[in-house]
């Protein structure tokens, strides 16, 4: 979504039109909620964090200067709120000790994935994402679903593009490993 498309509603909200804010919430709630789920790993808590994110966005909207895309700014707030929430609960990031999957096995993975019904595939991929470390799942979602560049993700996650490139590579391998294990169980 381009900044121009959001700017009209942002201006309306700053003028005091709360209903204009509901348009922005509807536009970004899925991605914000998904990021929260990836980080917090609990649907009810993620809902709370996502709502809290939008409250923060509403309050901080007058300070949004338009230097970046509105979506990037919203995701940064969502990421920080989720991190704060996880830290508050002193919840250690969970990691799954699964062997990283060699990238050369992609063809096999694709062939095996294609054998399943689309709904099963979706469920398998979603649950595999839940098993990834929070940072990995966030990078994969922002890069492959939202199609943000590493430079844009670096603004959201406050890390250098080089670090993110390495993490993206590892995240892919880890996801491949988890998918392989899941699919073997199902065959």
Partner 1 sequence: MEKDENKELDAFYKKIIQESGLEEPSANFTASVISKIQQENQRAEIFSYRPLIPRYVWWVSTVLLSVFFGFVFLKPENSEFTILPAWNLDFFKMDAFVAALNSFQLPDALVYGFLSLAIFISFQAYLLKTHWNKQFIVE
Compute the least distance from the CB of residue 56 to partner 1, in Å.
8
The C-alpha atoms of residue 95 and residue 93 are separated, in whole angstroms, by 6
Instruction: Label each residue of 18-69 as H, E or C.
Output: HHHHHHHHHHHHHHHHHHHHHHHCCHHHHHHHHHHHHHHHHHHHHHCCCCCC
The C-alpha atoms of residue 41 and residue 85 are separated, in whole angstroms, by 11
Contacting residue, 93, 102, 145, 162, with partner 1 by CB under 8 A: 145
92 binds partner 1 (CB under 8 A): no
Compute the least distance from the CB of residue 95 to partner 1, in Å.
20
Interactions with partner 1, residue window 42-81 (CB under 8 A): 43, 46-47, 50-51, 54-55, 58, 60, 63-64, 67-68, 72-73, 76-77, 80
Cα–Cα distances in angstroms (integers) from residue 23 to residues 52, 99, 113, 127, 153, in the given order: 17, 43, 37, 30, 24
Nearest by Cα to 132 from 102, 82, 175: 175
Pick the stretch among 4-12, 29-37, 92-100 that binds partner 1 (CB under 8 A). Answer: 29-37
3-class state of residue 147 by DSSP:
coil
Compute the least distance from the CB of residue 140 to partner 1, in Å.
6
Which residues bind to partner 1, rule: CB under 8 A? 18-19, 21-22, 25-26, 29-31, 33-34, 37, 43, 46-47, 50-51, 54-55, 58, 60, 63-64, 67-68, 72-73, 76-77, 80, 103, 106, 110, 113, 118, 121-122, 125-126, 129, 140-141, 144-145, 147, 155-156, 172, 175
């Amino acid at each position: 979504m381009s900044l121009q498309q959001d700017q009209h509603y942002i201006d309306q909200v700053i003028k005091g039109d709360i209903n204009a804010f509901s348009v922005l919430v509807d536009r970004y709630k899925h991605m914000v909620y998904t990021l929260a789920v990836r980080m917090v790993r609990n649907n009810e808590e993620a809902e709370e964090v996502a709502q809290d994110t939008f409250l923060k966005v509403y309050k901080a909207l007058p300070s949004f200067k338009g230097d970046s895309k509105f979506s990037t700014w919203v995701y940064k707030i969502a990421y920080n709120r989720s991190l704060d929430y996880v830290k508050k609960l002193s919840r250690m990031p969970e990691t799954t000790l699964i062997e990283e999957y060699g990238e050369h096995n992609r063809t096999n993975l694709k062939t095996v994935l294609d054998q399943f019904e689309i709904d099963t595939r979706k469920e398998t991929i979603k649950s595999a994402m839940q098993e990834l470390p929070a940072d990995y799942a966030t990078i994969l979602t922002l890069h492959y679903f939202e199609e943000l560049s590493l430079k844009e993700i670096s603004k959201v996650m406050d890390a250098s593009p080089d670090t993110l490139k390495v993490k993206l590579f590892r995240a892919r391998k880890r996801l491949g490993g988890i998918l392989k294990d899941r699919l073997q169980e199902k065959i």
